[in-house]
Amino acid sequence: MMTKEWMAQISNPEQWKTWFNMVPQPAGNPIAGILQDAGASIKPEAIEQLKNAYVAKLTGLWADFMAGKTPELKDRRFAAPAWHASPLSAFNAAAYLLNAEFLSAMADAVEATPHQKQKISFAVQQIVDAMSPANFLATNPDAQQTLIETKGESLAKGLSNMLADMGKGRISQSDESAFEVGRNVATTPGTVVFENALFQLIQYTPSTPTVHQRPLLMVPPCINKFYILDLQPENSLVRYAVEQGNTVFLMSWRNPDMSMQHLTWDDYVEQGVIEAIKVTQDISGQDKLNMFGFCVGGTIVSTALAVLKARGENPAASLTLLTTFLDFCDTGALDVFIDEPQVALREQTLAKGGLMSGRDLGSTFSSLRPNDLVWNYVQSNYLKGKEPPAFDLLYWNGDGTGLPGPMFCWYLRNTYLENSLKVPGKLTVAGEKVDLSSIDAPAFIYGSREDHIVPWGAAYASTALLNPKKPKANRFILGASGHIAGVINPASKKKRSYWSNDAGKGARAAKAKPLTAEQWMEGATEHAGSWWPEWAAFLAEHGGAQVKAPGKPGNKRHAAIEPAPGRYVKVRAD
């Protein structure tokens, strides 16, 4: 039952302010952009046509309702039997879907630039998704049925869940009590052998008697925790790489606090990746390393290798890029947040210091898929009083990180907004002109077919930037699914599929004009299962001779500091 204390909490305006902050409010809210786009308009004849179509459909829907005919509801939000058992609820859901269709059509009919239309459509969709009758107890018959069946316990539990999330400042997507970093996620055995103010370097314990001579240095995205690559033993890419006979080093980025508020992109390159390369070379005794970057980690790795090449150094025996932007030609769903006014606004507040909070970053990404990442949990956790299930990937998704303001602003302007990184010599990083085409290393480039963060065509565009004089040195693999699920596809599960195209191999192909992404796909072959073995073969090809596995981590200059996964990854944002 509800207590007086509960009632006091839920009637407190500050609590509700906290709640609204938990709902996605992305950077540079596009709703404000609608007001700025006052010059946009819809032709009167288009409005009249849409109105007539809407009235006709609404009239038909009302006639069916009066005749006792239950409308067909194909939207999965209304799949529960309770929606179909109540004619009024079914009518409400159908009317909502009709209104949503009309609003979306109105947004499509706006005469504006493509980017303005994208912002308007995004803002309209946010409103449409938020106003679904499934999101409110008064209009959700499924939640009402649960309320009756539990004799009010679902409401009490739902309020408790909501108050707990208010305290955390975010919506729970997983049973967070089921996981602990270092206990049942991020458990691959290893040792922290180096740390500075920006990252810890983990050296993983070999699991084979011999290893490839050249180590693998993995650079995860600094916008997330590294353990997406090391969730649990059965879906850990790190563990898989170790089991394939690689000596694996991995950077664990520090979750920044105010002591790091002035760090820049140059710092992440120089004090981050370049420092990790030097330490890995020193410990392994190898000049050449297999380099790896995931998402923005791949962008930083590639920048670092170009900087080192400008200094006359070439430490990469190979380069692996997973769902990585080098050419920001198509920024996918995130493009709605990228224009001059929005980037300038961030620069005004963060370019000279400060932190881009993990909460803001998380809200931005959640807003790209609000029904899956927000409203689904509002309905389940709050309206029905259910506990979210234990899911390692969603636990990781809620364990966000922040970014130093200057670094974040540089990244936004020079890559997403101006797409300057791909232009040889246009950018200066760590005192050197950056030319990605100078990186002299065969590249394994991976994209995910349904990726809404890094569209696979943009990932494929890296093949034109790297090794332009030796295109057959690049290998592109396309995996099924999205940005994360496509990457974390263990070989042992034999799930999904991937595509390859070997038309780029051979002397004749080396002289041919490079394939476009569409041409590549037309000639690609689909394979069942995971792409991981393809990557393992690539690493083995460039890993050098087999040598005895290291007996202990580090060396005299870089002694063991603490067991993996280390302290840095356990620090939570905000």
Place of tokens 């009239």: 59
Instruction: Give helix 153-168 / helix 141-149 axis angle, nearest 10°.
Output: 110
> Which residues lie below 8 Å from residue 485, measured CB to CB, with a gap of 6+?
393, 448
Active site residue 222: no
Distance CA 170, CA 477 (A): 36
Dihedral sign of CA atoms 383, 384, 387, 391 in order: negative
Q: What is the 3-state secondary structure (H, E, C) of 138-197?
A: HHCHHHHHHHHHCCCHHHHHHHHHHHHHHHHCCCCCCCHHHCCECCCECCCCEEEEEECC
Distance CA 34, CA 316 (A): 47
- Of 252, 302, 242, 246, the C-alpha closest to 274 is 302
Q: Is 216 helix (H, G, I), strand (E, B) or coil?
A: strand
- Of 146, 140, 55, 52, the C-alpha closest to 92 is 140
- What six digits make up the tokens of 475? 């290998």
Q: For residue 234, give Cα distances in angstroms to 188, 209, 244, 424, 467.
A: 11, 21, 14, 41, 35
Strand partners, 526: 499
CA dihedral 489, 244, 557, 288 (to 10 degrees): -90
Which one-letter amino acid corresponds to residue 118?
Q
Place of tokens 């038309």: 503
Of 222, 295, 329, 409, the catalytic one is 295
Report, as residue numbers or ranges, the catalytic residues.
Answer: 295
